[in-house]
Structure 1
């Protein structure tokens, strides 16, 4: 068996299986289904305990998985656990503060390990009433579709009933083994220890059909070069895919259910789902194919035009048809632009929530409650100290120095007021940062007012202060201090500045490289400027023209989505401003944000 800690580096999925199968609309529907299911279960108590549970964060949870079930879970070429289930478990463990250890092996052994207590939880088990007798299930985190595979020369079938009386290969102890036994296929089943063995036996001609999960089957065809095997019936059965624990272990299941709900709401689930189970890229029309079909159309057309005596009439007809087509294209493009505009606010909000993670949704309230007590109690302590100061000072004058809290009073009488002031200032700063985060995450309606860009920059820097401190020892901010106001939306401009500073920090190779941010007023041009410069790895020259394109990113391997700069560019354009990038590989990057200063008459 293979072990792996949650903090280990995730290995990339085999690039040969980057093609995906599900449509994005289906993914959106399924994500909605997950949220609804989780909420319903929580309300009814179906799979969740009725009382709060207590969990020891220092314990390590052993997570079991199948070593050969790609793309859901498998051992990669470097011997490490990988796949959709693994990434989802790591995300849940991170948001819940849990330590997990992956233990992979043959599926039968892993199932047995759960029952005898060597494994705490299975990260991928299909739901069934029979299994419910021995395990408890989480809400489903995805749906697994199963397909019937056959050799190319085999008679195709449309469903499971057409397999009756035929020898069928099936993965032992998998959900389809259980389903087919219930349907009375037991005597005709040929069991294999892994889906890969089932596909190999099918390709060799030992049986005519195999029932395997659709995604693993397609992957194995590619990986094992089984060119004579094809799916003949897709999605014949669809099963709910869940986490599972031994029956009664509801405390552990509750933690995973809570973590799954957080990961879904913060957008991490959608990223993981799309990374492993996303959609096919649309097929591209090659130049050769375009030339071939163009020739097939143009040659007959030229023959017709050469023999016809109605050239003028035909020409006018074609011009009219082309005019109609162009008008239709313009109408479709305008419709697409309107649709894009309608969804822009949703994209902006999604990007903001991805930056904030779970901080605002899960922690802001818990921070404000104890911090509010500090803000109430510290002034009381200051008044108590002031009242007691005269008594302590009299005692000091009459009896000499004495110990107070393990420190001589002669030192503490100066330190205590300073400590109380620092405590109150720190509590006020915590409150201000939390309020800034809540304002940043709150969906705005796009109203524009006169704002001070320096104030917006200061608020944005407070939001990303932890990232700055953890990324560099050399951060410098030089704000103008008396900039003219610009007309805009403070929350949206904060988002732009946060994205630019985060990108600068992420580009730094080590903490000794620095980041500079400054503001200035170009009176001759009538604009205020924000400059962000980093000493990072820079951007290759060929990538510069595409930095603000949607979904273009040079950090996809580290989780980049390619939406940050695209959304930022749209916000800046709405404000009548501009973003300029200058960079070279290995020499850092400079970004300049320019915003127009409104005329005095317009301000009035």
Structure 2
């Protein structure tokens, strides 16, 4: 429930506009912005009980006008009328769903919220699980709602009952008339809470998810730019978050604890009435109905994720357990599989862009998953950035992998939120049902293990569980525990792989590659322990240890040799997201009195693309320090050519997967040729990784690649051996 202060704050801007310290007087010649408001779109736009225009979008546009120094005036009416006035030009701006059909007559700004619609039914009526089940139904809808247009495009034959707003719709449904209501999640639940209706609940999956944004008539760029700039300012100074939480945040949701408390009160009241008024059967019946409605609602909350509306961890675990029981009873008829999905760069997005954007990403991923699967599948949020999909009636691994790859490919598409392209991606572990599985926990454990193997495998984002992964999981658990002591005991050491000029054979630098000198298991390559450290603080501490040793080694070599060289250091997602990269390197350069050109930083495309704008500021700081930047594994991530020209990088590194078995007139040959042509046009240097044969070296050199590294020249080696190569300065022979 909103506080008195939060209710009075919007009134201050209406009745005391001169008291706003931020509002600057607009020039007399500046025309006011005319905003068209839907008079019945709660809690976004509507007339409050005191006759005043109010709501999330109303307060938001008022604040934008204040911060931008432009007066905003309002006209209101039914949505169909307001939309018509925007098209004819008598209204400057409205808020509406950003859909392709509406882009024919309007330009949209940056989204300010995300909305989905839901189906609401009476408690006790037959559930509606899909749009097809709406055929022949009487559906209550707000006049002019987008859901009306959408259902027509889906070929659904139903009777539409048009009403003024969600309040009228819910009252009509609660009275026993018609079959269901289709309206927005926020608006529908807001109406139920305010009307205190207990016999209505949601049914089926959310539909019609879409961004909501300010829209102007086609070509009105002046006002659109002003709105975008004002929205950005409100987000930067925290005003947007205050308005969002006031109207759409957790305070306006019915809390589970409150429901449980209400249920206890009702049950206690029922007991007291049963003891005191045995004959009052009518009252007992009414109370029982109230308890049944509340119990149904509690059951819904117990089985669904509060943020996304999809199934939660508890529900999917029970569903898998039941599927295992059915499979044991009918192995040939009840085959199924599960997918364990983990987002690859969600922590980076959350740390760099904030939890509000993180929540929007989680919601968007949930809708993408629902859109990627058919009716055989149950989709659930496992927790954090992890999801589980139960796939029924799937005969074998090949069919299960088809579903998994469809999901992985879908999640590679960038999300545009707050004007930024956000690249996420996902790793998927798959496991088929087997008679050896006796519990849901066993299947989920194996799917989780397969997911981690997919995350460690650069060749694919999907892996099927294999039996040997059990032993690997036990080994990883031990390594994770041992690593807590590894840094303190200086068990982490850098190996160095030389980088040569391909034509002259001159040594130009080294790449620092970490190794773990485990006291019992011996020397461990990074692939055996880095995947288990991802998304943990240990990954950042590892990166700092590698940088310190690389700087100390470069200083020692610089004092002992006159040859020019550099040492390149890989930066992980976690270290980049922490945001102190330039500060740490500056400190190391000062500590070791080392010129900046002796160190270079390697960063992958995917790390940078996760937050291209925030990441760019870090790279600019590094460039000002004099540290050169290399884009690692180029071509394997989600390359964004629109940003590549603006990244302050000096060199790109061609991934080993393109160099391996390189031969003329092959697909890899054409990819490498294209990458080298691009780097030449952008005046970027190029280093080829993984060169293993003389033929690969000669082909790369003929294509214009200047530098390379790989086992043809030398494997990664200890610092002492690398220093001997530095003294030789070029390839022998």
Scaled to the shorter chain, the TM-score interval is 0.3 to 0.5
**Normalization by structure 2: what TM-score?**
0.31
**Max Rg structure:** 1
**Normalization by structure 1: what TM-score?**
0.38
Task: Select the structure with the greater relative contact order (CA < 8 A; seq sep ≥ 6).
Answer: 1
